Amino acid sequence: MHEMNLQEAPFRMIKNQTKTIELRLYDEKRRKIKPEDIIEFNNDKTNEILITKVIALHIYKDFKELYKHFNKIEMGYEKNEIPNPSDMEQYYAKEKIKKYGVVGIEIKLESVRK
């Protein structure tokens, strides 16, 4: 099992089952994730937990490439938002993206724990 923290907005979207692709750096921690694994997402504001199952891993050299393969809703954007790969630079430095690459973790919500 893997544990990851999430901010309120993406957490809520996974809980509502609209966000099905979690975008992360493909670093050492994420390289351990395999299909069928369980990821617990912790809401960093409320400490509520989502239990999700990994359906697939989609690995790309950068977020620009990843964004070409998924619609904005499943990546966690609202209908009125314009998806921009550079949005991910608030979480990950360009150097790290270049070093590790990125992964779209396709997930399915299994359960919610309060």
Q: Does 10 map to a domain?
A: yes
Q: Whole-prediction pTM value?
A: 0.94
pLDDT in tens, the chain (114 residues): 999 999 999 999 999 999 999 999 999 999 999 999 999 999 989 989 999 999 999 999 999 999 999 999 999 999 999 999 999 999 999 999 999 999 999 999 999 997
Q: Does 91 map to a domain?
A: no
Q: Does 28 map to a domain?
A: yes
Domain span at residue 41 reads: 2-83+104-113
CA distance 113 to 93: 32
Domain of 39, CATH number, reads: 2.30.130.30
Burial group, residue 36, by CB count within 10 angstroms (0-12, 13-18, 19+): exposed
If one counts the domains in the chain, the total is 1
